[in-house]
């Protein structure tokens, strides 16, 4: 059963959207299985940029079925805006977009709570996207959550909203000093979204299994990145879902045996949005140069992304956590402005060298990266379309990264466009 996972190997924004769009020509179904509209996945086709937050990045291919799985949390207002954007193009999604009845709905009180909690944390804030992701997942675990099936049933929705809102308003007012939210206003506004989204509700688990049973290829599109995983990331500076390949099983309703390969997406340098330790961060002119050359500003919030060198200690950990079978390297074209490129190969902790990623962030916060320096290629590689066309210095860099991470490079992306892609080895083999 040919299921493949696409997973971010760093702190998100590795270029997952671009790679999923590129590989969708070889897939029958694309499934989002975790996260919500904290994600911003950018796809560029024929020079036109589309940013997707909830809709799978396979949607721009005419025949691919796209599923928003049970493990996601979705904001109906944001989803309706995404549909508006697609309606303004010639993308016909109506018979091939499906939303799991088990996905959880982000309600206005989740967004208010997200921001109130961040304010409460003050200088210890996480730097969330403010989209209500954490509170929506917390409500799921707390069993106050609103499943998509409840949301699109007018009777159940009205009752559930009444019950939950009275509880939420008590907390918002008494614990956070926030204004209470109005039942009638939410009911009215959200009923309009429910009417629009009702046709898309589906038993996504059965759908995915049907496709797998026919021997067709399913791609599971991860959101965020490995270091933002709730269990294995840099807790508490993480998101609230399982971002690792293993999250596919619960988030899409398949067993591990349905997964044939795990394609890890690795940016040729590192970026992070929000707070939390980041060993190879460059708080200097080189970091600024990477940010401006790589347009490193959040696709969801517009915040500047923190930039640094590639970190192979962190990446080896991500390979373990995901069981990555091959990697796609993105954005090496950005490094073309540099005369030398550094690769973090080990950490020094209290004067001792280690190649192992520390389990706790108190230790991670004090590591000193050990770097290897390689010459830059100092030219534009965004027009290269084959491995042989790449400068030798660039190939040496890719080979060294591959060697240090211990997983083969399958694809090199040299620009945001679908066509700016070098197929080096088959990622599905």
From the list ligand GDP, Mg ion, ligand IMO, none, which binds 401 (C-beta under 5 to 8 Å, kind-based)? Answer: none
Distances in Å between the alpha carbon of 328 and those of 6, 251, 408, 424, 427? 10, 23, 9, 10, 8
Nearest-CB residue for ligand IMO: 274
Asked whether position 336 contacts ligand GDP by CB under 6 A, the answer is no
Helix or strand run (H / E) with residue 194: helix 183-197
The one among 28, 139, 229, 333 contacting ligand GDP by CB under 6 A: 333
Residue ranges binding ligand IMO (CB under 6 A) = 8, 11-13, 38-41, 126-129, 131, 133-134, 223-225, 228, 239-240, 273-274, 299
Phi, psi angle pair for 86, to nearest 5°: -70, -35
Residue 55 or 414 having the CB closest to ligand GDP: 414
Contacts of 351 (CB under 8 A, 6+ apart): none
Roughly how many angstroms between the first and final C-alpha of the chain, as a whole number? 13
Q: DSSP class of residue 262?
A: E
Contacts of 3 (CB under 8 A, 6+ apart): 212, 217, 218, 219, 220, 248, 254, 258, 259, 260
The one among 13, 14, 75, 221 contacting Mg ion by CB under 5 A: 13
Residue 116 or 381 having the CB closest to ligand GDP: 381
Distances in Å between the alpha carbon of 336 and those of 10, 397, 428? 21, 12, 29
The one among 3, 15, 36, 40 contacting Mg ion by CB under 5 A: 40
From the list ligand GDP, Mg ion, ligand IMO, none, which binds 224 (C-beta under 5 to 8 Å, kind-based)? Answer: ligand IMO
Residue 230 or 414 having the CB closest to ligand IMO: 230
Q: Is 41 known to be catalytic?
A: yes
Nearest distance, CB of residue 399 and ligand IMO, angstroms: 27
Q: Is 229 known to be catalytic?
A: no
Residue 111 or 424 having the CB closest to ligand IMO: 111
3-state SS, residue 54: coil
Q: Name the catalytic one among 21, 28, 33, 41.
A: 41
Residue 229 or 336 having the CB closest to ligand IMO: 229
3-state SS, residue 229: coil
Q: Rounded distance, CA 134 to CA 94, Å?
A: 30
User: Under the rule (CB under 6 A), what is the footprint of ligand GDP?
Assistant: 8, 12-18, 40-42, 44, 295, 299, 330-331, 333-334, 413-416
Q: Which residues are catalytic?
A: 13, 41
């Amino acid at each position: 059963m040919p299921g493949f996972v696409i997973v971010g190997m760093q702190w998100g924004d590795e270029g997952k959207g671009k790679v999923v769009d590129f590989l969708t020509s070889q897939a029958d179904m694309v499934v989002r299985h975790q996260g919500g509209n904290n994600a911003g996945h950018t796809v560029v086709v024929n020079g036109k940029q589309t940013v997707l937050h909830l809709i799978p990045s396979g949607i721009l291919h005419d025949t691919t079925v796209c599923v928003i799985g049970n493990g996601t949390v979705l904001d109906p207002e944001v989803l309706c805006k995404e549909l508006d954007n697609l309606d303004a193009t010639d993308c016909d999604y109506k018979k091939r977009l499906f939303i799991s009845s088990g996905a959880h709905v982000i309600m206005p009180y989740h967004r208010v709570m997200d921001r109130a909690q961040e304010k409460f944390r003050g200088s210890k804030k996480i730097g969330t996207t403010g989209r209500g992701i954490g509170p929506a997942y917390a409500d799921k675990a707390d069993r106050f959550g609103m499943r998509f099936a409840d949301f699109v049933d007018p009777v159940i929705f009205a009752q559930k909203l009444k019950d939950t809102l009275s509880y939420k308003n008590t907390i918002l007012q008494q614990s956070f000093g926030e204004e209470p939210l109005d039942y009638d206003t939410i009911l009215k506004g959200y009923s309009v979204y429910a009417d629009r989204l009702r046709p898309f509700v589906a038993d996504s688990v059965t759908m995915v299994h049907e496709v797998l049973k026919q021997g067709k290829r399913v791609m599971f599109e991860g959101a965020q990145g490995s270091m933002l995983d709730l269990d294995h990331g840099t807790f508490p500076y993480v998101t609230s879902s399982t971002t690792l390949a293993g999250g596919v099983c619960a988030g899409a309703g398949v067993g591990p045996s349905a997964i044939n390969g795990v394609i890890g997406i690795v940016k040729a340098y590192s970026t992070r949005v929000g707070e939390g330790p980041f060993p190879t961060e460059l708080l200097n002119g080189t970091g600024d140069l990477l940010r401006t050359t790589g347009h490193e500003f959040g696709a969801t919030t517009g915040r500047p992304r923190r930039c640094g060198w590639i970190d192979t200690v962190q990446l080896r950990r991500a390979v373990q956590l995901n069981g990555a079978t091959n990697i796609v390297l993105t954005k090496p074209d950005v490094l073309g402005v540099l005369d030398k490129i550094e690769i973090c190969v080990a950490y020094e902790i209290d004067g001792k060298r280690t190649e192992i990623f520390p389990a706790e962030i108190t230790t991670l916060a004090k590591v000193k990266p050990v770097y290897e320096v390689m010459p830059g290629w100092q030219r534009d590689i965004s027009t290269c379309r084959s491995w042989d066309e790449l400068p030798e210095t660039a190939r040496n860099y890719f080979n060294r990264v591959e060697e240090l991470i211990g997983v083969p490079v399958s694809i090199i992306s040299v620009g945001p466009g679908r066509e700016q892609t070098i197929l080096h080895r088959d990622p599905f083999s």
